[in-house]
Amino acid sequence: MNRCHGRASRYPNDAMEVVARALWMLVLSLIVITAPALGQGQASWTSANVVDPDRLARVDSVLERYVSEGRIAGAVGLVLRDGEVIYSRAVGWADREANRPMRQDAIFRIASQSKAITSTAILMLVEEGKINLSDPVGYWLPSFAKTTVAVRSDTGFAVVPAQRAITVKDLLTHTSGISYGGEPQVAPHYVGQGLGYGDAYGWYTAHKPAPICDTMERLGALPFVEQPGTAWVYGYSTDILGCVVERASGRSLDAFLRERLTGPLGMYDTHFFLPPAQRDRLATVYTRNSEGQVVRAPDGPRGQGDYVEGPRRSFSGGAGLLSTAHDYARFLEMIRNGGILKEVRLLSPHTVAVMTSNQVGTLYSADGLGFGLGFQTTDRLGANGFSSVGTFGWSGAYGSVYEVDPKERLVLVLMIQVVPYFGSGIREAFKTAVYQALVPPAEE
């Protein structure tokens, strides 16, 4: 029996064959249509909500209210959806005492928002095979080859050897056991080495004349507060990662970021120290008085900082960068888009997926929040305000905050300058005002 006879025996008439062919072509067309979207990992769960411009306008009144009530001096709010700006506004003052209005291109000290950028640099080098996540940190910084931990004992605290080596992944997830040195069992050790909370906040190093890696090498000889991998502890982990970038790449962290990350992404206003020509764009730092009103913070490490004048040598990957709302949003849009912005790819989609998903179980939170390789993650609806499951983000010590919501295709950035930031409510109010503007499309 030849092929034609065989086909005829399955389909008794031409009409059935036509139907079968049509059905098969329909299946093929559906595969072709859906495959690209499914390959991006978004189509099956992306929201169909639209932005109501009238409701989004409520963000203005939220920001203006906080300025008029004296809880902040000024702010820049920025929201992207699908990579396009849907909200951008500067309110209040960049320098209230000098009557300098806030502008959308104002430059802010972003403190711990630096961590996501440094973590990205590490993962770029991991993808290139220059670093492994499982590498012991001692391979890159010799003083970390054998670390110690301060533990409770019958007489108070005792310093004991770490049970295992700290790894690069421990640093990325903040499970290294390394704090900023404010705990009583380690504070004297840290202050004695120019770390911790002595003449500055623990995270601040911009006033130091020594390169950051010299400071981190001294840190390696000090006791930490938890055994590696047993707890989530916020501290110098990402500053250490900045040194790993330097050792693995052979470039200073400043040069590596400029040449490989901020430069290619067009983040031309993102620096560790401010170019003199841009000093008039730097927003002033404020602090709170006893009535909850903001007043100008003093000069020096606990206020305005040494970002214009000073040694300009300590490149803190954990808390040292300056940036604008628009610059930082470009970085976040690259992450939201799976590691690429326009034609510039820095990471693969698989790396971004791991980076932005919970890698620590319940060590960070037992109630719906997690921590990835540089970002807080939202794992339960309602655990982080109105953020969707899958949202990731973080904040900075000067009050700035950001989030990326892949489901709603959003990037949110709010820049303010208040230190220490004890919580005025503006961060939550800003986010709520954005989310309430997302509504189902109107029926035709």
- Domain membership flag for residue 105: yes
Mind spelling out the 3-state secondary structure of 95-117? Answer: ECCCCEECCCCCEEECHHHHHHH
Q: At residue 76, does pLDDT exceed 70?
A: yes
What's the token pair of residue 25?
């072509």
Query: Residues 434, 345: one domain?
Result: yes
pLDDT of residue 423: 84
- Mean pLDDT of all residues belonging to the chain: 91
Query: Does residue 112 have an active-site annotation?
Result: yes
Query: Residues 159, 20: one domain?
Result: no
pLDDT of residue 17: 45
Q: At residue 307, does pLDDT exceed 90?
A: yes
- Domain membership flag for residue 262: no
Query: Residues 225, 348: one domain?
Result: no
- Domain membership flag for residue 257: no
- Domain membership flag for residue 263: no
pLDDT of residue 444: 61
Neighbour-count burial of 295, counting CB atoms closer than 10 A to its CB (0-12 exposed, 13-18 middle, 19+ buried): middle
Q: What is the mean pLDDT of residues 414-426?
A: 94
- Domain membership flag for residue 320: yes
Query: Residues 9, 89: one domain?
Result: no
Per-residue confidence band for 232, with pLDDT thresholds at 50, 70 and 90:
very high
Query: Residues 12, 135: one domain?
Result: no
Query: Residues 210, 331: one domain?
Result: no
Range of the domain at 151: 120-249
Query: Residues 22, 129: one domain?
Result: no
Domain CATH code at residue 163: 3.40.710.10
Q: How many domains does the chain have?
A: 3
Query: Residues 395, 309: one domain?
Result: yes
Spell out the residues 6+ positions from residue 105 whose beta carbon is closer than 8 angstroms to its own: 269, 281, 324, 326
Instruction: Write the CA distances from 405 to 142, 278, 395, integer angstroms.
Output: 39, 32, 15
Q: At residue 7, does pLDDT exceed 60?
A: no
Whole-angstrom Cα distance, residue 148 to residue 223? 5
Q: Annotated catalytic residue: which of 44, 61, 88, 112?
A: 112
Q: What is the pTM of this model?
A: 0.90
Spell out the residues 6+ positions from residue 18 whose beta carbon is closer than 8 angstroms to its own: none
- Domain membership flag for residue 292: yes
Judge contact between 294 and 71, C-beta under 8 A: yes
Whole-angstrom Cα distance, residue 83 to residue 356? 18
Query: Residues 222, 292: one domain?
Result: no
Query: Residues 434, 291: one domain?
Result: yes
Judge contact between 45 and 381, C-beta under 8 A: no
pLDDT of residue 188: 95
User: Could you tell me how many helices (H) and strands (E) the chain has, helices first?
Assistant: 13, 19
Q: What is the DSSP string of 330-398?
A: HHHHHHHTTSEETTEE-S-HHHHHHHTS--STTSS-SSSEEE-SSSEEE-STTTTTTPPTT-EEEE-TT
Query: Residues 99, 166: one domain?
Result: no
Query: Residues 13, 134: one domain?
Result: no
Q: What is the mean pLDDT of residues 146-174?
A: 95
Whole-angstrom Cα distance, residue 315 to residue 208? 10
Q: At residue 436, does pLDDT exceed 80?
A: yes
- Domain membership flag for residue 197: yes
Whole-angstrom Cα distance, residue 166 to residue 397? 26
Q: At residue 142, does pLDDT exceed 90?
A: yes
- The number of CA neighbours under 13 Å toward the Cβ of 385 is 17
With CA atoms as reference, report the closest residue to 393 among 442, 424, 430, 419: 430
Per-residue confidence band for 38, with pLDDT thresholds at 50, 70 and 90:
very low
